[in-house]
Homo-oligomer: A and B are copies of this chain.
Amino acid sequence: MSPAEQPQPHRTADVRRPTLNAVAARAGVGRGTVSRVINGSPKVSARSRAAVEQAIAELGYVPNRAARSLATRRTDAVALVVPDAETRLFSEPYFSGIIRGVSTGLAGAGMQLLLVLTGDEKEHGRLAAYLAAHRVDGVLMMAVHGDDTLPDRLEELAVPTVLAGRRSDRERLGHVRADNRGGARLAVRHLLAGGRRSIGTITGPLDMDVARARLDGYREALREAGVAVAEDLIAAGDFTEEGGRVAMRELLRRHPDLDAVFAASDVMASGAVLELRAAGRRVPHDVALIGFDDSIVARHLDPPLTSVRQPLEEMGRTMASLLLEEIAHHGTGRREVVLPTELVVRGSA
């Protein structure tokens, strides 16, 4: 950090809060005893405990986090790292849901949540050092890309880390993800159950694990139904609306007779709808359509989009608890948790 970036020195309004010493004096006990009461140590007599608790209440004492942190070498804070490029994704329920869960999960443990939006990968070196340097007890990362090296750096630095989603199926760090494959299977089974047989899919970028998993689920569902998987019914999108539109156009060109599409995201599905409409195909009459994410656009599409929902809040809570565990018992954690998805049936399929 260059000197120029330093905030100007100042002092906050000098209303000094009561210290642990003040509590001790008022309660007529030593500092050690107060500390024990605050930290719930059992080795305190009922009398002392009562006296201390009363003094705390009377003084409105709240422990100074910085002092505690300095002494314990803990921070009681974790960082939630969100790549800046993905902040438009904030707009998706994805982030809000997960953040909510994370927040709930942490609050119970008295942990603070630091929100860190990172720019490009160039910053990652600095960021890793920053996070490692007694800043936070652990790190949660969202929207990790397959080639993101920040998690590895954090691992080297022995910073407990939990990811939302994995970078690949060889992910070594602890992470939480939705059952993307299972969700895709649900979607495609639903299409099959509706009598559709020529089912295309619009995938996400295949260097992303989610995209691959959803494609796998598509393949599995067809296979288990004894339907041959035609490779030209698979079109690659990029999780954008325009990408979905282009992919849909391509699918229609290759298979004018197709009667259903599973899109690996709602946003791509919304692009597909536009293209289908332009091509004079009615949804769901001519072509049934299912998306993934159950995002806001799903409800507002015409017709409303059938979509696969992930248990976002639970994912967030799980991330929090995995991280807390990893923080408490270094190295024990590093587990992966897969949570079930669910099909939300609306008008489009």
Selected from B7, B9, B109, B112, the residue in CB contact (under 8 A) with A109 is B7
One of A57-65, A174-182, A210-218, A243-251 contacting the partner: A57-65
User: B111 to A114, Cβ gap below 8 A?
Assistant: no
User: In A1-22, which residues have CB < 8 Å from any B CB?
Assistant: 1-15, 17
Known contacts A12-B73, A64-B70, A134-B17; is-contact A113 B111 (Cβ 8 Å): no
A124 within 8 A of B: no
Bound-state Cα–Cα, A194 to B109, Å:
57
User: In A75-90, which residues have CB < 8 Å from any B CB?
Assistant: 75-77, 80, 84, 87-90
A133 within 8 A of B: yes
CB distance from A35 to the nearest CB of B (A): 12
Number of identical monomers bound together in the oligomeric complex = 2
CB distance from A326 to the nearest CB of B (A): 11
User: A114 to B117, Cβ gap below 8 A?
Assistant: no
Bound-state Cα–Cα, A75 to B17, Å:
14
Residues of A in contact (CB 8 Å), total: 83
A278 within 8 A of B: no
CB distance from A109 to the nearest CB of B (A): 5
Q: Which B residues are CB-close (under 8 A) to A160?
A: 12
Bound-state Cα–Cα, A113 to B112, Å:
10
Selected from B37, B75, B109, B117, the residue in CB contact (under 8 A) with A66 is B75
User: B93 to A91, Cβ gap below 8 A?
Assistant: yes
Q: Which B residues are CB-close (under 8 A) to A116?
A: 113
A residues bordering B, Cβ < 8 Å? 1-15, 17, 37-40, 60, 62-67, 69-70, 72-77, 80, 84, 87-93, 95-96, 99-100, 103-104, 107-117, 129-130, 132-135, 137, 157-158, 160, 270, 295-297, 300-302, 324, 327-330
Q: Can you list 21 pairs linking A and B with CB atoms under 8 Å apart? A: A6-B39, A8-B328, A9-B39, A9-B72, A10-B327, A10-B329, A12-B73, A15-B157, A17-B133, A64-B133, A65-B66, A66-B75, A66-B134, A67-B70, A70-B70, A80-B115, A90-B90, A91-B92, A113-B114, A113-B115, A300-B301
